[in-house]
Amino acid sequence: MPPYQYQRIAIIGASGQLGSEFRRLLGERAIAIRHSQLEISDPLSVRQALIAADPDFVINAAAYNWVDKAEDEPQVAYAVNALGPRNLALACAERSIPLLHVSSDYVFGLDARDTPYSETDTPGPLGAYGLSKLAGEYFVRSLCPQHYVVRTCGLYGHAEAVGKGNFVKTMLRLGRERGHVRVVDDQYCTPTSAADLAEALVDLIQTEAFGLYHLTNRGQTTWYDFTREIFEIANVNATIEAISTAEFGAKARRPANSLLNCDKAAGVLHGHMPPWHDAVARYLSSLNG
Ligand SMILES: NC(=O)c1ccc[n+]([C@@H]2O[C@H](COP(=O)([O-])OP(=O)(O)OC[C@H]3O[C@@H](n4cnc5c(N)ncnc54)[C@H](OP(=O)(O)O)[C@@H]3O)[C@@H](O)[C@H]2O)c1
């Protein structure tokens, strides 16, 4: 293992699912910056936080992740997901600090294709959330030369805030409370463990191979099959009804396929991330532990 070149790594969004994994992995090298200490949409707040932290690397794990709500308040999503990374990119570029920014599979979907997306594919979001994330990517890529912009999919992990949910926790709760869940069976994705992603990203930032990447656990599934796997491993005795996206009737449109081709990252990291079903099994056992 080469010596780490970064010793003061600021983690913006440190209390979220991914931010929490970075704190755990980076230990004494992590400078945790929580929402209470920094408002990412405010340029002054970002500058002050970076001056106080004096980092040699910045990770942006903060985001507005409310996909449906973003349709009603697109300006809020844009402020956090687009102007926030813009503020960080400008502040990092001024100080020649490299920036890792995390983005989403929901920058895709408009072309309704059924094969995985590569970094060279033209994005086309279906909703306000995806649009705000795409704008954030463009700001980082154009304003901060030393950047990693990494798109991922369906994250689940351990956030600091008690009661903060994710798909896995929500399904476990609903399955146990109601004994019956209805889950969409026509959206293909790769659920991704925040712990596995953070580990891969810590390796990626050692490479200095700056650029745009796709990174998820390996393989593909639907939310319905993912739920079947969760219930089987966790021994939840509930029926699962497969429904269509139209039947579910969510406010925001979502990609029918948001699979990400991760070969570019695998080339740099000398391997793919673990399969999604292994990852969720580890996650479920960590919830019990
Ligand atoms: N979750 C998914 O399924 C998913 C899928 C694809 C990509 N991603 C991307 O992956 C990254 C990590 O996601 P995650 O699931 O770890 O997110 P998360 O658990 O929701 O954490 C986001 C963090 O950002 C903070 N935050 C929100 N608004 C902020 C603001 N205005 N200023 C400063 N901090 C703010 C939150 O703090 P408070 O809670 O205190 O507000 C929270 O700690 C994000 O870029 C996300 O878009 C996530």
How high is the mean pLDDT of the chain?
96
Strand partners, 193: 156
| 83 CA distance to ligand 1 middle (Å) | 14
pLDDT tens digits for range 185-199: 999 999 999 999 999
The H or E element containing residue 243 is strand 239-243
- Number of other CB atoms surrounding residue 24 within 10 Å: 12
Cα 12 to Cα 77, 172, 221: the distances in Å are: 17, 29, 30
Q: Is the CB of 155 under 6 A from ligand 1?
A: yes
Residues 117 and 108: beta-carbon distance below 8 Å: yes
Give the model's pLDDT for residue 288: 79
Name the percent of the chain lying above pLDDT 70. Answer: 99
pLDDT band at 165 (very low <50, low <70, confident <90, very high): confident
Q: Which two tokens stand for residue 205?
A: 């930032």
Give the model's pLDDT for residue 160: 87
Q: Answer yes or no: is pLDDT of 163 > 80.
A: no
Residues 191 and 153: beta-carbon distance below 8 Å: yes
Cα 219 to Cα 69, 153, 184, 222: the distances in Å are: 29, 12, 18, 11
pLDDT band at 4 (very low <50, low <70, confident <90, very high): confident
Q: Which two tokens stand for residue 145?
A: 């030369």
Torsion sign across C-alpha atoms 154, 159, 162, 168 = positive
Q: Which atom of ligand 1 is nearest to the CA of 154?
A: 3
Q: Is 34 left (phi over 0), alpha (psi -120 to 50) or beta?
A: beta
Q: Which atom of ligand 1 is nearest to the CA of 102?
A: 45
pLDDT tens digits for range 76-121: 999 999 999 999 999 999 999 999 999 999 999 999 999 999 999 9
Q: Answer yes or no: is pLDDT of 2 > 80.
A: no
pTM of the model: 0.98
| 64 CA distance to ligand 1 middle (Å) | 6
pLDDT tens digits for range 142-155: 999 999 999 999 99
Q: Is the CB of 62 under 6 A from ligand 1?
A: yes
| 152 CA distance to ligand 1 middle (Å) | 12
CATH of domain 9-164+191-217+259-274: 3.40.50.720
Q: Is the CB of 193 under 6 A from ligand 1?
A: no
Catalytic site includes residue 138: no
Q: Answer yes or no: is pLDDT of 183 > 80.
A: yes
Give the model's pLDDT for residue 289: 66
